[in-house]
Structure 1
């Protein structure tokens, strides 16, 4: 590939843009963070897989199995974001991306949208798992074993992959960036807006579900802890209360992070769907990657 073939691509520089220095700082921080966390995340997934193979009872519950599948979705999403969007934007391996042409643009956009749905469904399935653990403790193992577990995996993966097929109905091309990189983007603006409207409504419904689920989960946890404290000696009661407070605090932090991320992504989709702010593809994914 030479410079001439890159210059044949249309430029992409419309709409609202972020200052170049700010963009570089944010992207550098993101990349450094990913470089440290990605191998660590892979190591955790490996040990969780090992625990399943070695039949370690403490780590073989349905919850940890769902944690593994959710981690796979997260790693898949990170790989898609950087291999499909960030690296070509920075000008890394541009000849390969241009050589792949429309195959690369469509496959990347398919995985980018599919993994977004998969991530949303994964956190929803995990929330449902925790709800059943507190609401039906005696039937928990039965509910999340066998075919029901396969349904949970299907919700995490298959639903997103099926919904993502809609992206193939929207033409996509490569655009040239000012730094001799490339950015894949849809060309049908009206259809893209429809995608964002549907995606925004889906994420909004998911946010409502997560908020309701974690509020009810928090309520059930407090109710259970209060019931356990009845009739216990004062010293033991204080220890129980302290342990309960720590458990409630961890749940509160986790739920706020999960819901906060989903609301942030939902807000980005709202901006794109309503076109209150016209974000170029690279700028949109700058915020989108930071949120996820």
Structure 2
């Protein structure tokens, strides 16, 4: 289940990046304006619909992966039972549903291109709807960030508590094993911290432009949004490659032999040994890793 959620998240990140350049960056630079003009506001409207749909899916993906990882740390015995449940596939309804609801709300709206500083930016025609829509986005983003921080803090506290208890109750553990557990805890803390930082930065930006200062110049708004969006979409993949040895090994195999790597995706050794494996002594009981904004557990 972890890799299913992870794959959906990566695909959405890539779509969001491509959409951001074709629907926002290129018009802002004044590139291909003849094409955009010939299409009316269709391209701009599609850009906004895809961007907001992707943002909703990204938020839900982070929450789902955070839950996956947290259950591996807090409930290691029941973790596989929970995530192998026949109804767990309904999680994809949550992962995709909220985003599609947000994006589809823009279908009936009217838009126009605004010229500013030699660039063109798509704008809402109905200002009242724009205000309500941005306020709803602020509320949803608040919920996402609150859930992510609560889940991650709970997971980190549980991880540290179990680790310390094991130190006092099983002092005979091999020093090599203890060093490995310390490394896993360190990796977990870094990934969780960077994930929370990325979410908080995005959240603060949403608060500022949608709540505190709604009169930010269009060019500045889109410039900051483009930068944050690019970093956010690219962060997850790099964190996974940096801190997951099993994922690095898998990517290396795919580079050497793409078809072999693709066939091995479903039977690849879970990245569960990377982070919360310290919650169990035996390697065959390990469970955790993630995609990022919040490490999850392959299941």
Whether TM exceeds 0.5 here: the answer is yes
- Counting only pairs closer than 5 Å after superposition, residues 1-292 of structure 1 correspond to structure 2 as 62-145=1-84, 147-179=86-118, 181-229=119-167, 230-233=169-172, 236=174, 238-276=175-213, 278-291=215-228, 292=232
Between the aligned partners of 1:151 and 1:286, the Cα distance in structure 2 is 37
Deviation string, structure 1 residues 123-152 (Cα, Å, up to 9, x no partner): 111001101222332332332236444222
Between the aligned partners of 1:257 and 1:231, the Cα distance in structure 2 is 32
Between the aligned partners of 1:131 and 1:111, the Cα distance in structure 2 is 30
Structure 2 unpaired stretches of 5+? 233-299
| RMSD, aligned α-carbons | 2.1
Structure 1 unpaired stretches of 5+? 1-61
Contact 1:225 1:241 survives alignment (8 Å):
no
Contact 1:170 1:192 survives alignment (8 Å):
no
Aligned pairs, how many? 228
Structure 1 residues 111 and 282 mapped into 2: Cα distance closer, same or farther (>3 Å)? farther
TM-score using structure 1 length: 0.71
Shift of 1:244: 2.5
TM-score using structure 2 length: 0.70
Deviation string, structure 1 residues 8-43 (Cα, Å, up to 9, x no partner): xxxxxxxxxxxxxxxxxxxxxxxxxxxxxxxxxxxx
Partner-residue secondary structure (3-state), 1:193? helix
Query: What is aligned with 2:244?
Result: none
Between the aligned partners of 2:201 and 2:133, the Cα distance in structure 1 is 17
Deviation string, structure 1 residues 158-189 (Cα, Å, up to 9, x no partner): 2201122122344211122433x422111222
